[in-house]
Structure 1
Amino acid sequence: MGIKEFPGKAKTYIKSLTWRDILNFIIDQWFLECLGIAILIAYLVPNLGKKGGWLAAQYSVIYVCPALIFFVSGLTMDTKVLIQTAALYRIHLVSQIMSYLYTSMFFFVFSYAALMSNDKHINASILGGFILLGCTPTTIGSNVVFTRNAHGNHAATLIEVTIANLLSPVLSPALISMYMTSSNKWGEFRPSGGTGGYQALYRSVFKQLGLTVFVPLFVGQLLRYIATKQVKYVAEKFKINKFSSVFLILIMWSTFSSCFATGAFAAMTPQSTGLVMMMDFGLYWFFLFSTLVVTRGSRKVHFKNKYLDSILNFFRFNKRDTIAMCYVIPAKTPALGVPLINALYANHPGISDQMKQMLQIPIILYQIEQLCFSSSSVPLFRRWVRDEEEAAKLEAEEKARVEKSATADTEQIGQSSNSSSSTEVARSEAEVEVIDDLVGVEEVHAQGQILRDLEKQ
């Protein structure tokens, strides 16, 4: 279709739309609509969902909701698939390198360029927050939800999320220290590096991973093993995967409630707000498309040198794995970003409470945008991976047909063997009867001969 034909095609498509089509579209976007309502409630009643608020969200939401997300994953995920995915070292290496080193490098470059501009309207705390944002790990709950909804390899996403958050207490402070000490311009934002702060960070990270990832995932897998048929029936009947999206909305509601309650947004200048929104928007899509180029574009490039081609082959993945990486690599989590800031600047004399709140703003706003972009990309990825799903389905059906045919052949061979055995048995019985008859005849002849000899005597 040419460019000139596009307006006419668009008008025809719009005229063909019915109220049912519009209603279905609105229903399909329920996640973003509910997220908007949650943000509005957080703005109107911030004390309800903030940390330390009326509902004690630091426990009731921050721990319970992610735990329920991974519990659902444990119920619906095949254990064999999870184990097989854990052995895919290529996706682990590429995801973690790009998630930490690749993304943090670009966040640092843009932040440093903005800092060197010496614009008085841009708050330095915001730029420092961008560097902290780039060094934080990927999100814990949302990636698994969106990858599953997009029909990607959500087992890979679950494992990458776990690995990234386990590495965070070591890698994140090291990267932040490296970037912040690269120039005297950062001055006051250099981490204090207090031992007590790092210990608190380690405790927070591992406690959160244990209670929200490992324990609920294990319990879900255990229930699936004990009552496989019942769990599958309940999962399909009540569509429990949908509940993961609801839990994710509750997590974001609590995050916004805390941000509105502290007044962090009110302290931002319009220039800082515009810079944050543009950088978040641009960097997220840049990371998303570069991930697609690395994992899928490399499939179209081939070298005559087998060694170079084998190196490039290391970065080639199928569509389901690519979808998982597209949700893992660009995403950043405030769940560990905020504790990281508190740990690094716990006893820092040059960082006030308001500056700590300003450091958190890029993380919060990035979380908003990445949720919106991730949700909107789900239908696109779902359509993109459809051909692989159909091919996998045909392959599974062909495999089942071959196995069924092999089973039928085995049964037929068994029946033939049984028939041959029966024939042999019957033949043997007949031979035995003949032999018995012959033996009987010989005995009769012998007895007659004995009688004749007695008569002669």
Structure 2
Amino acid sequence: MSIKEYPAKFKAYIKSLTWRDLLNFIIDQWFLECLGIAILIAYLVPNLGKKGGWIAAQYSIIYVCPALIFFISGLTMDTKVLMQSAALYRIHLVAQIMSYLYTSMFFFAFSYAALAANNKNLSLAVLGGFILLGCTPTTIGSNVVFTRSAHGNHAATLIEVTIANLLSPVLSPALISMYMSSSNAWGELRPAGGTGGYQALYRSVFEQLGLTVFVPLFVGQVIRYFATKPVIWVTEKFKINKFSSVFLILIMWSTFSSCFATGAFKSLTPQSTGLVLMLDFGLYWFFLFSTLVVTRGSRKLHSKNKYLESILNFFRFNKRDTIAICYVVPAKTPALGVPLINALYANHPDISDQTRQILQIPIILYQIEQLCFSSSSIPFFRRWVRDEEEAAQLEADDKARSEKPGDADIERLGESSNSSSTEVAGSENDEHVGNDLEEPEKLQAA
């Protein structure tokens, strides 16, 4: 189909839509709609979901909801698949290098360019917040939820988010110090590097990972192992995976409640707000498409040089693994970004509470945009991976048939024996019928 035919095809498609199609589209976007309602509630009643608020969200939301997400992952994930994904070292290297070095490099480049412009309407804390955003690890809960919904390798995503958050206490402060040392213009935003702050960061990270990832995942796997059939029936019958999205909405509601309660948004100039929204939008899609190019574009490149071909082959992934990497690389988490900021500037004499809140704004706004964009990309990835799913299903069916030749032979022997017995029975019946017909003739002759 040529490019000129697209407008006519699009008009025909629009005319073919019915009210039922529109209703189905609205229902499919329930996540974004509920997220919008949650943000509105956070704006109207910020004290309800903020940290230290009426429901103590720092415990009831920040710990409980991620724990429930990974408990559901433990219930619905096959242990063998999880172990196989843990052995995929190529995914680990590509995802972690791109997530930390690749993304942080671009965030720093744009922040430094804006700093060099010397625009007084741009807040220095906002520009520093972009550098902090680029150095934070990928999200824990949302990546697993979206990868599963997009039919990607969510077991690989679970491994990647765990590795990324374990590396964060070491890599993130080192990268931030390196970027902030590039110019004296960063001034007070250069971290003081207090040991107590880093110790608090390590303790917070490992405590959060243990209580929200490892323990609930292990419990879910144990329950699945000892009650496999009931667990599979319950998860499929009641659509347990949908609850992960609900818990994710609650996490974002608490994050926005804390931000609205501190009044951090009010302190921004319109220029700073516009820069944050524009860069968050542009960089997320740039990271997503560039990740697709790296992981799938290498399939179309070939070289006669065996060393170059081996390098290209290192970046070649199937579609399910590519989906996992595409959700891991662009995503950034405020769950560790905010503690990271508090730890880096805990003993800093020149950083006020309001400045700390402004440093968090790029992270928080990026989180809401990435949730919207990640959710909207799910239908595309589902259609894109469909051919691999069908091919994998056909291969599994063929393998199941080849593993049970005895049963097929028994069935064929049973069918042949039944047909032969039917033929024998039929011939015997014919003989009896013939004898019955001959007996009246003999009687008449007598």
List aligned pairs for 1:98-177, cutoff 5 A.
98-177=98-177
Query: What is the match of residue 364 of structure 1?
Result: 364
Query: What is the match of residue 92 of structure 2?
Result: 92
Q: Secondary structure at the match of 2:404?
A: helix
**Cα distance in structure 2, aligned partners of 1:346 and 1:373:** 33
Matched, 1:277 2:277: yes
**Cα distance in structure 1, aligned partners of 2:378 and 2:220:** 25
Matched, 1:392 2:389: no
Task: Give the AA of the match of 2:107.
Answer: F
Query: What is the match of residue 238 of structure 1?
Result: 238
**Cα distance in structure 1, aligned partners of 2:345 and 2:397:** 58
Query: What is the match of residue 423 of structure 1?
Result: none
Matched, 1:297 2:318: no
CA positional deviation for 1:347? 1.2
Residues 245-277 of structure 1 deviation map (CA, whole Å, 9 limit, x = unaligned): 000000000000000000000011000011001
Query: What is the match of residue 416 of structure 1?
Result: none
**Cα distance in structure 1, aligned partners of 2:181 and 2:58:** 33
List aligned pairs for 1:288-367, cutoff 5 A.
288-367=288-367
Query: What is the match of residue 375 of structure 1?
Result: 375
Query: What is the match of residue 251 of structure 1?
Result: 251
Query: What is the match of residue 63 of structure 1?
Result: 63
Q: Secondary structure at the match of 2:192?
A: coil
Task: Give the AA of the match of 2:164.
Answer: A
**Cα distance in structure 2, aligned partners of 1:23 and 1:14:** 14
Task: Give the AA of the match of 1:339.
Answer: P
List aligned pairs for 1:166-245, cutoff 5 A.
166-245=166-245
CA positional deviation for 1:183? 1.0
CA positional deviation for 1:412? 9.9
Task: Give the AA of the match of 2:66.
Answer: P
CA positional deviation for 1:10? 2.2
Task: Give the AA of the match of 1:241.
Answer: N
CA positional deviation for 1:162? 0.2
Please identify, of 69-78 and 402-411, the stretch whose mean Cα deviation from structure 2 is larger.
Answer: 402-411
Matched, 1:268 2:281: no
Overall identity of the aligned pairs, in % = 85
Query: What is the match of residue 402 of structure 1?
Result: 402
**Cα distance in structure 1, aligned partners of 2:281 and 2:98:** 18
Task: Give the AA of the match of 2:212.
Answer: T
**Cα distance in structure 1, aligned partners of 2:104 and 2:8:** 45
Task: Give the AA of the match of 2:380.
Answer: L
Task: Give the AA of the match of 1:267.
Answer: S
**Cα distance in structure 2, aligned partners of 1:3 and 1:309:** 35
Task: Give the AA of the match of 1:279.
Answer: L
**Cα distance in structure 2, aligned partners of 1:81 and 1:12:** 44
Residues 418-437 of structure 1 deviation map (CA, whole Å, 9 limit, x = unaligned): xxxxxxxxxxxxxxxxxxxx
Query: What is the match of residue 418 of structure 2?
Result: none
1:308–1:407 distance in 2 versus 1, CA, 3 Å: farther
Task: Give the AA of the match of 2:26.
Answer: I
Task: Give the AA of the match of 1:351.
Answer: I
Residues 77-97 of structure 1 deviation map (CA, whole Å, 9 limit, x = unaligned): 000000011011000011000
Task: Give the AA of the match of 2:349.
Answer: P
Task: Give the AA of the match of 2:42.
Answer: A
**Cα distance in structure 2, aligned partners of 1:50 and 1:19:** 40
Q: Secondary structure at the match of 2:358?
A: helix
Residues 314-341 of structure 1 deviation map (CA, whole Å, 9 limit, x = unaligned): 1110000000000000000000000000
Residues 367-423 of structure 1 deviation map (CA, whole Å, 9 limit, x = unaligned): 01000000000000000000000000000011111112255459999xxxxxxxxxx
CA positional deviation for 1:31? 0.2
Q: Secondary structure at the match of 1:58?
A: helix
Query: What is the match of residue 53 of structure 2?
Result: 53
CA positional deviation for 1:172? 0.3
**Cα distance in structure 1, aligned partners of 2:401 and 2:114:** 62
CA positional deviation for 1:16? 1.2
CA positional deviation for 1:6? 2.9
Q: Secondary structure at the match of 2:53?
A: coil
**Cα distance in structure 2, aligned partners of 1:98 and 1:247:** 28
CA positional deviation for 1:56? 0.3
CA positional deviation for 1:311? 1.2
**Cα distance in structure 1, aligned partners of 2:44 and 2:96:** 39
CA positional deviation for 1:214? 0.1
**Cα distance in structure 2, aligned partners of 1:309 and 1:9:** 41
**Cα distance in structure 2, aligned partners of 1:98 and 1:92:** 10
Could you tell me the TM-score, scaled by structure 1's length? 0.89
Q: Secondary structure at the match of 1:5?
A: helix
**Cα distance in structure 2, aligned partners of 1:4 and 1:182:** 50
**Cα distance in structure 2, aligned partners of 1:18 and 1:289:** 32
Task: Give the AA of the match of 1:223.
Answer: I
**Cα distance in structure 2, aligned partners of 1:17 and 1:346:** 56
**Cα distance in structure 2, aligned partners of 1:315 and 1:45:** 47
Query: What is the match of residue 24 of structure 2?
Result: 24
**Cα distance in structure 2, aligned partners of 1:406 and 1:349:** 78
Could you tell me the TM-score, scaled by structure 2's length? 0.91
Please identify, of 97-106 and 6-15, the stretch whose mean Cα deviation from structure 2 is larger.
Answer: 6-15
